[in-house]
Amino acid sequence: MIEKTSVLIALFAALIAVLGLVPAFPLASGVPITAQSLGVMLCGTVLGSKKGGLATLFFVILTLLGLPLLAGGRGGVGLLAGASAGFIIGFPMAAFITGWLMEKTSSVDIHISVSLSSIVGGIVVLYIPGLIGMMINAGMSLNAAIVAVAVYLPGDILKVILVTIVTSAIFKARPNSIFARS
Amino acid sequence: MFTNVSSLETRLDKISVQRKIIFTCSAAAILFFIKNPIVMFSIFAALLIIYFSVGGFKFLWVGLYQLKVTIPFIIILAFWHLYLDQLDRGVTLIFRLISAFLIANLFILTSKIHDIILAIQKYSFYLKNFGINPHAVSITIGLFIRSIPILKQRAKNLMLAQSARSTKRSFWRISVPLAISVLDDADHVSEALRARGGIRKKED
């Protein structure tokens, strides 16, 4: 099954890259609103912790090595000095925790399971390194960084709703394709 | 999406990607230990000189143009540190950001994506020391690169199909068929891989 795992990792990493082509909304904080965090959540809810985390890690490594995969054609190790650094580093952790929670709540209704996993993994876990990154790279205090990232919350809530719709639809059509539950 | 940003030929194009990756990562790491604004500004100035000496004024302009993505963050940093009255720290952070992007872009602008992929694939073979199957990594990289334009085109096709049914253009309406098509592709491609002998085991 190594073939299937490799292909899933490659295709979901590519899906995150393609979601970067959905127009991003640049915000004053320097971290744009993009659909790529949606892809990160989707990696966790569909692929589960290990595969989802690896797909996202793969995407992040190739981006940091210089491929222009982030929204707006950004890439390269220079991203680590920018406002998005914490969020980029947090992508694999977010996908892993999202997937792990999906696996742990596999007996719960799919809508609740996906929503809960995406909120905890895709928002809470992702925001922790995101805040640390903003504090280090922008020299902000914790309170100021929290205020700066608060504007992303409504968009992220919408992403959680969308991930719930997509994952539930996949589960309804092909239950075995939700690897976090199989 | 995967194009070399600069069409200008420079002397750095001839240097191996591996060496440039090592230089880029080391230089970017060193930047994080510099706290003095004058030293940081000197590094920025030195990088501008390197850009100019490598490819002339045109190449310098291309490098500076690539910095446009950092403008919103630079403005925030500037206002934030003026508000805090920490000018030294603000100048250091701004020039660290600009210098890190200039270093990374110097690598990207002078390296073909194809060469970067080949270098990653070549060095992925050392991953076997960490228990990771290098053949699987190599195949995953190839599939990833090949899949991006395919998925991009499929998203466009789904958008077109959607626009035939509704005047509203919304991404979320195509997200379910796009995700299911990715899972379909995964089934087909993994079957095809297995039919052609599959991925070699680690010990091979």
Domain boundary among B82, B111, B140: B111
Domain that holds residue B91: 11-111
Distance CA B138, CA B191 (A): 18
Residues of A in contact with B31 (CB under 8 A): 81
The three state secondary structure string of B153-186 is HHHHHHHHHHHHHCCCCCCHHHHHHHHHHHHHHH
Same domain, B106 and B146: no
Supply the pLDDT for residue A65: 81
Average pLDDT (B106-120) is 81
Degrees, nearest 5: CA angle A14-A31-B44: 100
Q: Does pLDDT of A106 surpass 80?
A: yes
Report the range of poorest mean pLDDT among A17-31, B85-99, B117-131, B168-182: A17-31
Residues 59-88 of B with CB under 8 A from A: 69-70, 72-73, 75-77, 80-81, 84, 86
Supply the pLDDT for residue B181: 93
Total domain count, chain B: 2
Give the pTM.
Answer: 0.83
> Hey, are the CB atoms on B183 and A83 less than 8 Å from each other?
no
Q: What is the dihedral of CA B166, A72, A89, B202, to 10 degrees?
A: 80
- pLDDT tens for each residue of B64-92: 988 887 887 888 888 888 888 888 888 99
Q: Residue B114 to residues A135, A138, A178, B142, B149: CA-CA distances in angstroms? A: 36, 34, 34, 11, 15
Q: Which chain A residue has the Cα nearest residue B86?
A: A139
pLDDT band at B198 (very low <50, low <70, confident <90, very high): confident
Q: What is the nearest CA distance from B56 to chain A, expressed in angstroms?
A: 22
**Alpha helices of chain A — where are they, by DSSP H?**
2-19, 36-42, 49-64, 85-104, 110-117, 126-138, 142-150, 153-173
Interchain contact B161–A (C-beta under 8 A): no
Q: Which chain A residue has the Cα nearest residue B71?
A: A30
Distance CA A19, CA A41 (A): 12
| Bigger pLDDT: B136 vs A11 | A11
Assigned domain for B57 exists: yes
Portion of chain B with pLDDT greater than 90, in percent: 21
Assigned domain for B6 exists: no
Same domain, B102 and B24: yes
Same domain, B136 and B106: no
Q: Residue A97 to residues A51, A56, A117, A122: CA-CA distances in angstroms? A: 12, 12, 8, 8
Distance CA B64, CA B179 (A): 38
Assigned domain for B104 exists: yes
Domain boundary among B83, B111, B139: B111
Neighbours of A33 (CB within 10 A): 19
Domain boundary among B111, B144, B178: B111
Q: What is the nearest CA distance from A125 to chain B, expressed in angstroms?
A: 23
Same domain, B106 and B20: yes
Assigned domain for B157 exists: yes
DSSP secondary structure code for residue A120 in this structure: I
Same domain, B39 and B106: yes
Same domain, B91 and B131: no
- Chain centroid to Cα A167, Å, comes to 14
DSSP secondary structure code for residue A139 in this structure: -
> Hey, are the CB atoms on A14 and B147 less than 8 Å from each other?
yes
Interchain contact B118–A (C-beta under 8 A): no
What's the CATH number for A2-177?
Answer: 1.10.1760.20
Amino acid residing at A41: M
Supply the pLDDT for residue A27: 58
Assigned domain for B82 exists: yes
